[in-house]
Amino acid sequence: MWVDPNLNDFYTRVSRIEKSHAKGYGFEAAGTLGRKASTRRGSWLAKLVKPVALALVVGIGLKGVIHYYVGPQTYESRVSALAAGSGFDPVGAWMMHADPATLWVSGQLQALLPR
């Protein structure tokens, strides 16, 4: 058929592959995505921990920045005023109280950006 015998071998292999694919057979090389490729299934705990940890880090960082910029006395007076409120204000005061992590972030900012 072809002058080059390698082309004859190639096209016979291609026709065999096409026939096997028509029958529903498949071939997957290692490391490729094919019909059997499954998605990574992590545990639901790992999927939950990452966003919660990110929210905690961002929240503590934000509290530390606020504590640094308004000062410790003003921060505490605002939190105590929030605690004296009604509705969800005490919950907000509990969340915004100056915990050790917030004070650490504020101290680091004070060391980097002294006033």
CA gap 29, 41 in Å, rounded: 22
pLDDT tens-digit series, residues 1-35: 667 888 888 999 999 988 888 887 776 667 666 66
**Structure token pair of residue 89:** 């204000």
pLDDT tens-digit series, residues 88-108: 999 999 999 999 999 999 999
Q: Which residue in 64, 70, 97, 58 sits closest to 81, CA to CA?
A: 97
pLDDT tens-digit series, residues 35-56: 655 566 667 888 899 999 999 9
CA gap 100, 58 in Å, rounded: 15
Does the pTM of the predicted model rise above 0.85?
no
Q: Which residue in 8, 110, 94, 15 sits closest to 59, CA to CA?
A: 94
